[in-house]
């Protein structure tokens, strides 16, 4: 008796589920007709706006920072066991040009291998002094502030500089290096 009842109930439930499914099927068919091609339109639009922004980005750089005078400074972190980065300050020829406080999300991106462009500007050819100050927590969670400097020789092409934070494992200390890229 109980088994028969269960069968009966299952049939009712299946009918109910089928009704709902049929309704949904009908809706889906109508919806597919109404919104046909919307996904394609979105993808095409996204691609076109991306290409537009690429062209605008290049135009902006060429107008504001021509390669003959362009200087860009980047921050990177390698390993980072002995230093938790909070902020970086960059001075060029004794003038502060960048002061950046990093969010947790940005530090995470740096630790995963991302490189942050902290400054882009213009400098004439010749020698210039760059000084960078790194602020954060050092070994054992102590407040830590270190500087690194370099005399750079700006030639006719764009100059790229990398402020690199690395671990000096034997000394259990962080290391801060300014590296020049051409």
Partner 1 sequence: MSFPRLEMLGKFKAKAILAFCVYVLSLFSGVSSANIEQPSTIKDLHYGEVLFHFYQEDYFTSIVHLLAARDLNRTTNHIPEDELLLGGIDLSYGLHKEASRIFDKLLQGNVRDAIKNRAYYYLAKIYYQRGYIDESANFLSNVYGPVQESVFGELKLLTGQVYMAQGKYDAAISSLDNWKAPKSHENYADYNLGIAYTKRGNIDKGIEHLKKVGKLKAKTETMRTLRDRANLASGLTLIQNDRPADAIEYLEKVRLEGLYSNLALLGIGWANSNANRHSASLGPLQELRNRSAYHSEVQEGVLALAHAYNELGLHGRAVQAYEQAAGIYNEEAKALSFAAHEIERGVLVDALLDRTKGGPKMGWFWALRDLPELPEVKYFTELLAEHEFHEALKNFRDLLFLKKNLAHWDENISIYLTMLDTRKARYQKYLPLVQQRLSGLDLNELKSQQDSLSSELNEIEKDNAFIQLATAEEKQKLSEIDKLEQRLELLKLQEPDNNKITQMSEKTALMRGIMHWKIHNAYIERSWNHKQEISEIEKHLSITPEKSVSIKNAITESVEKFDAFEARILALHKEIKRLIPIADRVFDEQSRYLEHVAVKELKHREKILVGYEKHARYELASSYDAAASSIVPGGEETSSEDSKSESPKKRWKLW
Interface positions with partner 1 (CB under 8 A): 2, 5-6, 8-10, 12-13, 16-17, 20, 23-24, 27, 31, 34-35, 38-39, 41-43, 45-63, 72, 74, 76, 78, 105-106, 108-117, 160, 162, 181
Compare residues 52 and 96 and give the one whose CB is closer to partner 1: 52
- Least Å from the CB of residue 127 to partner 1: 14
Compare residues 66 and 145 and give the one whose CB is closer to partner 1: 66
Compare residues 33 and 142 and give the one whose CB is closer to partner 1: 33
- Least Å from the CB of residue 181 to partner 1: 6
Among residues 166, 160, 156, 158, which one has the least CA distance to residue 180?
Answer: 160
Compare residues 39 and 143 and give the one whose CB is closer to partner 1: 39
- Least Å from the CB of residue 23 to partner 1: 8
């Amino acid at each position: 008796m109980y088994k028969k009842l269960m069968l009966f109930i299952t049939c009712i439930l299946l009918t109910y589920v089928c009704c709902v499914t049929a309704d949904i099927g009908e809706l889906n068919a109508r919806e597919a007709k109404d919104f046909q091609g919307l996904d394609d339109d979105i993808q095409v639009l996204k691609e076109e706006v991306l290409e537009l922004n690429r062209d605008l980005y290049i135009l902006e750089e060429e107008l504001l920072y021509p390669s003959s005078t362009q200087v860009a400074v980047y921050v990177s972190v390698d390993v980072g066991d002995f230093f938790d980065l909070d902020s970086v300050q960059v001075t060029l020829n004794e003038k502060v040009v960048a002061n950046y406080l990093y969010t947790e999300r940005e530090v995470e991106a740096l630790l995963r291998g991302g490189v942050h462009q902290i400054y882009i500007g213009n400098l004439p050819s010749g020698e210039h002094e760059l000084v960078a100050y790194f602020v954060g927590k050092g070994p054992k969670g102590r407040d830590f502030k270190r500087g690194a400097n370099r005399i750079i020789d700006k030639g006719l092409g764009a100059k790229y500089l990398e402020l690199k934070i690395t671990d000096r494992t034997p000394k259990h200390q962080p290391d801060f290096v300014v590296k020049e890229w051409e």
